[in-house]
Structure 1
Amino acid sequence: MSAMSNSNFSRRSIFRAAAGMAAAGTLAACGSNNGRGGGSGGSGSGTPLTQYFHAYGEAGTEQALKRYAAAYKKANVSTNWITGNNFESALFAALLTSKAPDVFEFHPQLQLVKSGQVADLTDLIDPVKSDFNPNDIKSHTVDGKIYGIRMIDDPQFFYYRKSMLEKAKVDVPTTLDELIEAAAKLTTSKVKGVFLGNDFSAIQNPIIWSAGADTINEKNEIAYHTDGVVEGLKKLRTLWTSGNVLIDAPTDFWDPSSLNQGLCAIQWGGMWSMPAMQKALGDDLGIFPFPKIGSAGKLSVYNGGWSIFVNAKGKNVEAAKEYVKWLWIDQTQYQEDWATSYGFHIPPRTSIANKADKLKSGLPAEGVKLFTDYGHFDNIAYDQTMQTAFADVIASSVRKNGNPEAALDTCDKKVNVELKKLFG
Structure 2
Amino acid sequence: MRRGIIRNAAAVTLVTALALSAVACSSSTPPAAGGDAELELWTFLDPNSADDPRGAALKEIVEEYNAQSDGTTVTVRSINYAKIDAEVIKATASGQGPDLLNVYSNQLPMHVAAKTVQPITEYAQPALDALGDDFLFPIDGVTFDGEIMAMPWEIRAWLLWYRADLLEAAGVEVPTTLDEVGEAAAALQKTGVTGLGVGFSNAGLGASFMEKFVPFTWGNGGEILDGGDAVFDDAAGVATMQQFIDWKSQGAFGDEVLSMGADEILNGVKAGTIAMAIEGSFRVAAARSGEGVGDNLQTAPIPSDDAATPLQTPVAGQTLTVGTNATDTDAAWDFIEFYTSATSQEKFAAAGVLPVLSSVYESPAVTALPNADELNSWLDYIRDYGRPNPVSENFSELSDSLVTGAQQVVFQGADPAETLTRVADAYNAQ
TM over 0.5: yes
Matched, 1:288 2:321: no
Say which SS state the counterpart of residue 345 (structure 1) adopts: coil
Residues 1:359 and 1:271: Cα distance change in structure 2 (over 3 Å)? farther
1:334 and 2:334 equivalent?
no
1:58 paired residue among 52, 62, 71: 52
Runs (5+) with no aligned partner, structure 1: 1-33, 419-424
The aligned residue for residue 221 of structure 2 is 212
Judged with a 3 Å threshold, the aligned counterparts in structure 2 of structure 1 residues 168 and 369 are, in CA distance, closer, same or farther, namely farther
Q: What is the deviation of 1:94?
A: 1.6
Residue in structure 2 matched with residue 415 of structure 1 by the alignment:
427
Match of 2:408 in 1: 396
How has the CA–CA distance of structure 1 residues 135 and 221 changed in structure 2, closer, same or farther, with 3 Å as cutoff? farther
Q: Which amino acid aligns with 1:318?
A: T
Match of 1:107 in 2: 104
Task: Flag structure 2 segments of 5+ consecutive residues without an equivalent.
Answer: 1-20, 202-207
> Does structure 1 residue 67 correspond to structure 2 residue 98?
no
Q: Where in structure 2 are the equivalents of 1:19-418 lying within 5 Å? A: 36=23, 46-56=36-46, 58-59=52-53, 60-61=56-57, 63-71=59-67, 72-83=69-80, 85-108=82-105, 109-129=108-128, 130-131=132-133, 133=135, 135=137, 137-165=139-167, 170-197=172-199, 199=201, 201=209, 202-217=211-226, 219-240=227-248, 242-245=250-253, 248=256, 252-254=261-263, 256-275=266-285, 280-281=292-293, 283-292=295-304, 299-311=311-323, 313-316=324-327, 318-319=329-330, 321-329=332-340, 331-337=341-347, 339-341=348-350, 343-355=351-363, 356-357=366-367, 358=369, 361-381=372-392, 383-418=395-430
Q: What's the Cα RMSD here?
A: 3.6
Q: What are the Cα deviations for residues 166-190 of structure 1, in whole angstroms up to 9, with x where unaligned?
A: 5656444344333222211222242
Which residue identity is paired with 2:376? A
Higher relative contact order (CA closer than 8 Å, sequence separation 6+): 2
Aligned residues: 377
1:52 Cα deviation from its structure 2 partner = 0.5
Letter in 2 for 1:387: S
For the residue of structure 2 that corresponds to 1:139, the secondary structure is helix
Residue type at the aligned position of 2:59: Q
* TM-score normalised according to structure 1 size: 0.75
Distance 1:214 1:320 in 2: 41
Shift of 1:150: 0.8
Q: CA deviation at 1:49?
A: 2.2
- 2:304 aligned counterpart, secondary structure: coil
- The two structures have a TM-score, normalised by structure 2, of 0.74
Report the 3-state secondary structure (helix = DSSP H, G, I; strand = E; otherwise coil) of the residue aligned with 1:160: strand
Distance 1:258 1:283 in 2: 16
Letter in 2 for 1:148: A
Taking structure 1 as reference, are residues 393 and 375 closer, same or farther at Cα in structure 2, changes over 3 Å only? farther
CA contact (8 A) 1:207 1:293 kept: no
Once the two structures are TM-superposed, the CA of residue 70 in structure 1 deviates from its matched residue by 2.0
Q: Distance in 2 between matches of 1:35 and 1:241?
A: 47
Does the 8 Å CA contact 1:291/1:299 hold for their aligned counterparts?
Answer: yes
Question: What is the rounded CA distance, in whole Å, between the counterparts of 1:243 and 1:397 in structure 2?
Answer: 16
Separation (CA, whole Å) in 2 of partners of 1:69 and 1:414: 47
In structure 2, C-alpha distance between the alignment counterparts of 1:158 and 1:393, rounded to whole Å: 24
- The one-letter amino acid of 1:154's match is R
Q: Shift in Å at residue 292 of structure 1?
A: 2.7
Secondary structure of the corresponding residue to residue 196 of structure 2: strand
